[in-house]
Structure 1
Amino acid sequence: MKVLIADDERMVRLSFISMCNELYPGIHEYIEARNGNEMSVLGEKEQPDLAFVDIRMPLMDGLSAIEKLSALCPHTQFIILSGYSDFSYAQKAIQLGARDYLLKPPSLDDIQKIFMQAEVDRSQKITQDNHTFFYETIAQFNAYCIFPALEQDMTGNLSAYIFCVDYKEPEAQKQFYKGLYRNIQQELNPLIHLYYRYCLFHLPEGEICLIIKTPQPSRRPAEILNTISSAFGVPVTTYHLSACSLGEIFDKIISVMDLFSLRIFCGYGGFLDEHKVFALSRKKQLIKLSETVENLQLAYQDRDYIQYEKLLDRLISFPDLSLEKELDWNGMGKYLQHYFHFGQTVDSFASLYQFLVQGKEDMYKISGVNNTPNLTEKVKQYVEEHYMDDIGINTISSLYGITPNYLSKIFHQKEGLRFMDHLTLVRISHAKRLLTASPCLSVNEVAEQIGYRGTRHFSKVFQKLTGQTPSEYRKSKQNP
């Protein structure tokens, strides 16, 4: 703790500090004041946790100094240290907010009791103050989201930090956010004893938001949080915002939430100052570009070939060469290499497009599908071997790591008919063979052996394609 001793006698001050050091060697910081005026100046500047004050001092007495500092030092606990046992002094001191009254010379036991109780009171008050700050901030943020024009009355040295995590699996990302939340909380809890106040909560899409109020401007929280963010094995983009009022900090938080997609162009996976984000020109154009790149990444992960090609075509219309020098291509490179399975330098719109074209080719390689003809031949071969099973477009597309829509489109383009029509033709062809070569099989058994689960539907399809029922077809082949 920071301890102020105000007494006009030097030996009293030195003796008191010596006794404190005997009890708590090297633990507390001591500040000396020779009179009430010095006490007022030093108290306001140093904001002590504990102040031992003599009543009778030159220039300004102890009671007057306490009265003056009570409003300026809200966290300070005042203890009267006097040689006068007059009850009126004690009564006046208590009225002014002094916590205790010690007669000179105090004993070691007296001092120890004061310090122990002061530490308990300080810890409880600090914890309660931070809880109050948390609940007030959350309440005001929720109110702001509904009524942005509502005036926010909290002022001071305020900062906000928003943590945006990129993780390939959504469920794993949720768990990562939980771990990050705990780490931030553990690192910040010791700071509340330095009269820092913080509020940690999740934004609607899961990102972590931290609002901190400090006694004076400080880089310490930023340094701690930067260390936390960089310690993880996945990209964590951290936005740093600052303001003098809660309303202003809320404005900036909402603005940054609308610009999250821009992180890939202005410091992906790093520590971003607000000026770097807000200074970007033509934000609307860049947001569209960023969202297109993000959607390409999602299509790549889902192996959605059709969507990927559509987005790739759309990307051609975006590039504006005048923006190239403004963007952080190093961050873009980190983003792409995090989600794609290959490395390639990206330092311009042209190289970005080439990278994403490579992404399309990479999808085919991963799926074991090198070209469209091979794909359709593989599908036809699979149908020929499994026509009797319960198969469909979803079953086969999953085998090759592609979407049903993409397979359906490619198959129709190459073969000139829909996949289900091809499957039906294969099944009916085998039905004809069985009806002719295996007269002992009933129509129902033939239907089951070629993948149909009901005679009625099989007969309907068979007649539609051949002009005959299965029984009529069998008779016609037996009696040519």
Structure 2
Amino acid sequence: MNIILADDERLPRLGLKSMIEELFPNQHTFIEITNGEELLSYVQQQTPDVIFLDIHMPKLSGLEAFSQFYQKNIPVVMLTGYAEFSYAKEALKYGAIDYLLKPAGLEEIKRVMMQIYQLKKDAHAVYQKNYELEYKKILNLFFSIHFIQQPKFVKPPYTAMLFYFDHDPNSSKKNYFDLLSTSLEKLSDAYSFPCSCSFLPSGELLFLSSGKIPLTSLNHIPEDFRNSSSCLATGFSCYADSIEELLNTITYIQKMESIRLCTHLGKCIFLTELKQQEFFLPLSSLIDKAIFSLQLNDTMHLQKTLSEIQNLKEGEFLLSKCDTSLSIIFHRLFHHHVSIHSILQLIDSIKHMYSQEKETDIIQKINLYVNQNYMNQIGINTISDLLGISPNYLSKTYKLKTGENFTDYLTKIRMQKAIELIESGSCKTVREIAEKVGYFSTRYFTKLFLKTTGVTPSEYLKQHIPL
């Protein structure tokens, strides 16, 4: 904390400083002031964390100076060499938090300092709550009706980081926000800056801090996050000196975000670097569209986008300037290697990937259908008719992609359901169980159950009959 020691006598100032340093070593900065006019001039330009203020000082008394700045709500501890209770009453009227007789003892100073710490903690909690509420309101107004609200709590200068997430679709996204926001809040706290994190309507995470955090402290955030999760977070960083500049910069970054697919994926990109990489945008925006079409299995839009990539002027040049980001993003999202040596190789890789993704999508549809219809008379012909593909193609694709035959998977699901029925006690006979999982031959069902579990369904039933 910045602590003002306002007393015209040197020894009391030294005594206070010595006791505070003894109690809380190397935690505070001290400003020594010897008269009321000097104090008033200082607080008109700066806001200290606390003032230890002697009532009697030359030029302007401590009480007179206090009466002119008390509305700034700076914690003030009054000091006097006499039990002047009329002065104490006046000081308390202006909001002094305590009144000490000189020379104050170590325990008194400790008590007052702990009181100040608690006041600061409470004030910070209230301010942080107001900061977060106003921050979300500013974002909501801007991104819904493009209205810029002037801030009362979310004051400049600003440090902002806009995060775009690229994660393995097979991994859980749980706790991503908590991991990253906790790391960012700790960073902001290290500089004593208020901050907040919020998701924008389009899915990005925006971190904002009211204070300029050094770029060297921001650079490691995406890398630390990658090491603690299975997700890549590319952080676009900027400074701003007004709310208008901040929101306009965020809008600019949103237009440029696809550039991460060509360079700096999973890293920190500062605004000046981003502007230098603008030339990637014609290629990166098309790759972004191709990825989106792949994820949606949208054949028509994928073909159109690949045609645009093939006809892109300077496409080969732009591709040659890409770092490993392009390979990483395709491998992370689709678990496929993509060649980036030429535009034609890139297009061929994406087409091959799409055909494999379609096959994977077929497998998911087959498994879903089996899980929903195992109790019916279904087989490979039933599903091939449903999907509009040949039974032979379905059988080969299923075996190639899963490592097991379709009939083996169907049997496995039916046996699992049979075991669940027995263990739940909802079926009393082997015939009833067999029919409920899609078998009308009790003998055939018994043979498959024995092969799967090592015991007959009758024996398994006996083991689970309640005593």
Q: Please, what TM-score do these two structures have when normalized by structure 2?
A: 0.66
Question: What residue is the counterpart of 2:62 in the other structure?
Answer: 62
Decide which of 317, 325, 330 is 1:331's aligned counterpart.
325
Query: Cα distance 1:191–1:256, how it changes in 2: closer, same or farther (>3 A)?
Result: closer
5+ residue gaps, structure 2: 361-378, 399-467
How far has the Cα of 1:392 moved from its partner?
A: 1.7
Q: Which of 235, 259, 270 is equivalent to 2:256?
A: 259
Counterparts in 2 of 1:276 and 1:286: CA distance versus 1, 3 Å: farther
State the one-letter code of the partner of 1:392.
Answer: D
- Kindly indicate whether the alpha-carbon contact (under 8 Å) linking 2:191 and 2:213 is maintained by their aligned counterparts in 1: no
Q: 1:240 to 1:187 in 2, by over 3 A?
A: closer
- State the 1:189 CA deviation: 5.2
Aligned residue for 1:57, secondary structure, equals: coil
User: What residue is the counterpart of 2:3 in the other structure?
Assistant: 3
CA distance in 2, matches of 1:326, 1:8: 71
Matched with 2:307 is 313
Task: Verify the 8 A CA contact 2:259 2:277 in the aligned structure 1.
Answer: no
Q: How far is 1:325 from its partner?
A: 8.9
Secondary structure, aligned partner of 1:163:
strand
Displacement of 1:104: 1.0
The CA distance in 2 between the partners of 1:231 and 1:195, in whole Å, is 26
Q: How does 1:151-300 map to 2 (within 5 A)?
A: 151-154=149-152, 155-169=155-169, 172=171, 174-175=173-174, 178-185=175-182, 187-188=184-185, 191-192=188-189, 195-214=192-211, 218-219=214-215, 222=218, 225-226=221-222, 228-232=224-228, 233-278=230-275, 285-286=282-283, 288-295=285-292, 297-298=294-295
CA distance in 1, matches of 2:336, 2:138: 46
Question: For the residues of structure 2 that align with 1:145 and 1:161, how far apart are their CA atoms?
Answer: 17
Structure 1: gaps of 5 or more residues? 370-385, 403-480
- Check the 8 A contact 1:266/1:276 in 2, yes or no: no
Query: Structure 1 residues 49, 282: closer, same or farther in 2, change over 3 A?
Result: same
Distance in structure 2 (CA, Å) of the matches to 1:218 and 1:60: 41
Distance in 2 (CA, whole Å) between partners of 1:191 and 1:317 is: 46
Q: 1:94 to 1:278 in 2, by over 3 A?
A: farther
Equivalent of 1:85 in 68, 83, 86: 83
Equivalents in 1 of 2:64, 2:317: separation in Å? Answer: 64
Letter in 1 for 2:56: R
RMSD: 3.9
Q: 1:19 to 1:118 in 2, by over 3 A?
A: same
Q: Does 1:120 align with 2:111?
A: no
- In structure 2, do the counterparts of structure 1 residues 368 and 183 end up closer, same or farther at CA, with 3 Å as the change threshold? closer
Residues 1:190 and 1:271: Cα distance change in structure 2 (over 3 Å): closer
Contact 1:200/1:210 (8 A) holds in 2: yes
**Counterpart AA for 2:308:** R
CA offset digits 1:368-427 (Å, max 9, x no partner): 99xxxxxxxxxxxxxxxx78655425275765669xxxxxxxxxxxxxxxxxxxxxxxxx
The superposition leaves residues 92-136 of structure 1 with CA deviations (integer Å, 9 ceiling, x where unpaired) of 433444222212112233222211111111101101101001101
Q: TM-score, normalised by structure 1?
A: 0.65
Shift of 1:165: 0.8
- Higher CA-based Rg: 1
Aligned equivalents of 1:218, 1:37: Cα separation in 2: 36
Q: Decide which of 338, 342, 357 is 1:351's aligned counterpart.
A: 342
SS in 2 for 1:392: helix
| 2:167 aligned partner, one-letter code | Y
Q: Deviations over 1:144-165 (max 9, x none)?
A: 2233244424542122211111
Task: Report the Cα offset of residue 284 of structure 1.
Answer: 7.3
Letter in 2 for 1:315: I
Distance 1:271 1:191, change over 3 A: closer
* Alignment check: 8 A CA contact 1:130 1:192 kept: no
**Structure 2 residue identity aligned to 1:331:** S
CA distance in 1, matches of 2:276, 2:60: 53
Instruction: Note the C-alpha offset of 1:39.
Output: 4.1
CA distance in structure 2 between the partners assigned to 1:332 and 1:307 by the alignment: 20
Asked if the contact 1:66–1:96 (Cα under 8 Å) also holds between the matched residues in 2, the reply is: yes
Of 389, 392, 395, 2:385 maps to 392
Count of paired positions: 374
